[in-house]
Structure 1
Amino acid sequence: MEKTVLQPKNQLQRELPEEKFQELEEYINSLEEKEGALIAVLHKAQEIFGYLPRDVQLFVARKLGVPGAKVYGVVSFYNYFNDKPPGEVIINICTGTACFVKGADKIMAEFEEKLGIKAGQTTEDGKYTLNAVRCVGACGLAPVVIVGEKVYGRVKVDELDQILAKHERKDAK
């Protein structure tokens, strides 16, 4: 099989290591069936790169033989996929019914105020990404906030400074 690796053409591509493109290409080449594999390939690409910038989306499109618009459509449709680099600390606030009833909207509003961003955005310094997510399956702990891998249950608005401080101290260690 012909081996093609995307060569750096602009500043963005120079920031994306060729080794990562090679790893993704090897994964795609290992697939027995490429038709219908778009979502699986995008999951793998996001695992490798951390997000799905335009150059990665176009690389996937070329390797799978699908239009770039189709890849972009999938990336932009599913909340799981990110086309911008996430912050160092990802804050997910459950907005499912139980969490909403228990005040997730107030928690979201307070995080937005404290961080100066809206849900789905990353702070300018790249420290935090704030996301609204659907039910995380912990309704008995509503409202739920997940910071990185740490789950906080029955969160109250006045606890948000403590939650943020725990993740600041972690970086200082």
Structure 2
Amino acid sequence: MRTAEKAGRIFFTLIGILGVMLLFLPHIGISVDSIMSGSMEPVLRTGGIVFTDTKERRPEIGDIVTYQVGETRVTHRVIRKEHKGYVTKGDANNREDPTVVTADQIIGKVIFSLPCLGYVAVFVRQRTIFGILTVMILQEMFFLLIQWKGERSRKSAERIYEK
């Protein structure tokens, strides 16, 4: 199997796994969110995704948490506890976040992250049916191209051996 074909198979397998994860993990208490800013670099890279355990809603100092601010989800590190809640800060930020995060805002504790897949997750989430169909069509086009190139190479080799 050629390198490009292997890479394509791995890529589309990962995309399929990501799609399944986005659909089913929330049902077992895992929130999946995209990292769209550099505030937590280098620990959490822009364009990555974080997996947050929504059952872990009492973070300790040093834990990375995801919390809700209006319509926005933020993932930052807890740097201090106060009587009103938690003080958070992005690792790459110079200052702590301006408001205290209350216990009600905490979605959960980040348990792990994967780099680069956040952009794909955002695309699929925003256009769920369209995103899934697009990925499926791209996958089929990729494999047809690989198959077509392989067929051309085989025919070319046959012509050389016939001479």
Bin of the TM-score, shorter chain as denominator length = under 0.3
More strand by share: 2
Structure with higher Rg: it is 2
What TM-score do you get using the length of structure 1 for normalisation? 0.22
What TM-score do you get using the length of structure 2 for normalisation? 0.23
Higher relative contact order, structure no. (Cα contacts within 8 Å, ≥ 6 residues apart) = 2
